[in-house]
Amino acid sequence: MLLLFLVWEIIVSLPIAVLISGGGSNLQALIDKVEDGSLDVDIRMVLSNRAGALGLERAKKHSIPTCTLSHKDFGSREEFDGEMVRVLKDAGVEAIVLAGFMRIITPVFLCAFPGNIINIHPALLPSFAGAGGQTDAAEYGVQISGCTVHFVDEKMDHGAIIIQAAVPAIPGEDVEKLTKRILQVEHRILPQATKWLAEGRLSIEGRFVKLTPSKLVSSSDSKAEKAEIDIDFPCLINPPLEEGF
Amino acid sequence: MLLLFLVWEIIVSLPIAVLISGGGSNLQALIDKVEDGSLDVDIRMVLSNRAGALGLERAKKHSIPTCTLSHKDFGSREEFDGEMVRVLKDAGVEAIVLAGFMRIITPVFLCAFPGNIINIHPALLPSFAGAGGQTDAAEYGVQISGCTVHFVDEKMDHGAIIIQAAVPAIPGEDVEKLTKRILQVEHRILPQATKWLAEGRLSIEGRFVKLTPSKLVSSSDSKAEKAEIDIDFPCLINPPLEEGF
């Protein structure tokens, strides 16, 4: 029985869905990490609330099933969420990664995947929650901005924080440049957080996310603490990235 | 005439006051940088609103004049600020560094030193403004916190941002540990920001602080961008620290 459990633990990948509304570059980062063997999840479906989202094409290129559900076709947020839940459950999805999904989700959706929904936000939360994270940061004139992966709860951009990355900002610079810099680290921390989720290494205690150390690579933490990553600007990522991310 | 101006520029140190309410470890960091020759300012006075503040003792040890003015002895914030202005102007002070000064200042004080008042706050503003920066960050469960030096305006912890430093936080850890980590970088960025102010290299455009590159050390920026500083944890400081900070 124990042997069976161990075998199951090794061979069964967490079935996830990635929800998008646009370009899906974070989806691409997840696909790339799955394909290079660093991230062991089964992307069962990419769901978009916007027809023609570029991310849907990315999914098709990698033979990932897609689904478009327009929120405009539903009478309420709850009805829209209910239909998403039905589609995703039918596909066997157990966990959700929101990667640029520009809709507020309701308890209908939250309760269908308890403790298994994560989101990436392009700012160092709690600064600059809401739709315009990068623009708001640029307009505020911060010297440091960044991004956050967090569990989703009933408030927008509010749930317990899994990982954050800080990047330099230059007050007065074009917001596109800051957005691009933040996106480079988004592509690192979202696959990393997804891996931790898939490995069952994240536990939530109140507002605190506890990360269980890896069983496989005992030296990874001390190595990663130096925050040596191949990005062409200085940044700070915490918890540190592990090998392969 | 040009020669006279150049000589004046070299020999006259900006006369500043440091305002404190407590231990004054940031004051000590400023004193240390003045004494090792990295920071060319004339600390004319250390003013505390609390009698017995440890920072007053630090000042006395280095023969810096001190003044204690208790806000409780005044009928209003404006009266208290008016007396501070009188004392500081009498001492020839032209710029103010708030280093753990736990009072909200009024336009009476702001208008006496226009564009020449800076403050250090133990959080990555605009996150966690207010008196309990470190505690609020620890309770929120952020993975990254830090500190900010900013110009002071009429709103609390709100003015244009000069420099920020990001440090790792560990959700659930003792707030004292986070406070200590933040303090280590506070002691680096406050003297650095004070130097930029004293050299007249900071200009405010709306909410943006523009830093004029140093005339003296043209290579300092590219060197500092690597964020190599002798602190025993990874951190990100922007703009990068220059030689000596």
Asked if A169 reaches chain B (Cβ–Cβ under 8 Å), the answer is yes
Successive 10-residue mean pLDDT values, chain B, 245 residues = 61 94 96 97 98 97 98 96 98 98 96 97 96 94 98 94 97 95 97 98 96 70 48 94 94
Q: For residue A60, what are its two tokens?
A: 């098709």
Give me the pLDDT at residue B214, please: 87
Point out the residue among A209, A235, A240 whose CB comes nearest to the CB of B236. A235
Quote the CA–CA distance of A124 and A149 in Å, as a whole number. Answer: 9
Cα–Cα separations (whole angstroms), residue A153 to A20, A161, A206:
18, 11, 12
Could you tell me if A229 lies within 8 Å of chain B, comparing CB atoms?
A: no
CB within 8 Å of B21: residues ≥ 6 apart = B48, B49, B50, B53, B100, B101, B102, B103
The interface predicted TM-score of the complex, written ipTM, equals: 0.90
Nearest to B245, CA basis, from B198, B207, B209: B198
Q: Which of B232, B236, B237, B241 to mutate to test the interface with A (most CBs of A within 10 A)?
A: B236
Is A121 assigned a catalytic role? yes
Chain A residues closer than 8 Å to B164 by CB? 142-144
Residues in chain A within 8 Å Cβ distance of B140: 126, 161, 207
Q: List pLDDT tens digits, range A215-231.
A: 765 444 444 444 445 78
pLDDT mean for each 10 residues of chain A (245 residues): 61 94 96 97 98 97 98 96 98 98 96 97 97 94 98 94 97 95 97 98 96 70 48 94 94
B163 contacts chain A (CB < 8 A): yes
Q: How far apart, in Å, do the first and last CA atoms of chain A sit?
A: 34
Classify burial at A139, counting beta carbons within 10 Å of its beta carbon; exposed 0-12, middle 13-18, buried 19 or more.
middle
Judge contact between B231 and A236, C-beta under 8 A.
Answer: no
Q: In the prediction, which pLDDT does B50 show?
A: 97
Residue contact A206–B144, C-beta within 8 A:
no
The string of pLDDT tens digits covering residues A96-105 is 999 999 999 9
Indicate the pTM of the whole model: 0.91
Query: Is the CB of A67 inside 8 Å of chain B's CB atoms?
Result: no
DSSP characters over chain A: -HHHHHHHHHHPPEEEEEEESS--HHHHHHHHHHHTTS--EEEEEEEESSTT-HHHHHHHHTT--EEE--GGGSSSHHHHHHHHHHHHHHTT--EEEESS--S---HHHHTTSTT-EEEEESS-TTTT-STTHHHHHHHHT-SEEEEEEEE--SSTT-SPEEEEEEEE--TTS-HHHHHHHHHHHHHHHHHHHHHHHHTT-EEEETTEEEEPPPSS-TTHHHHHTT---S-SS--EEESPPPTT-
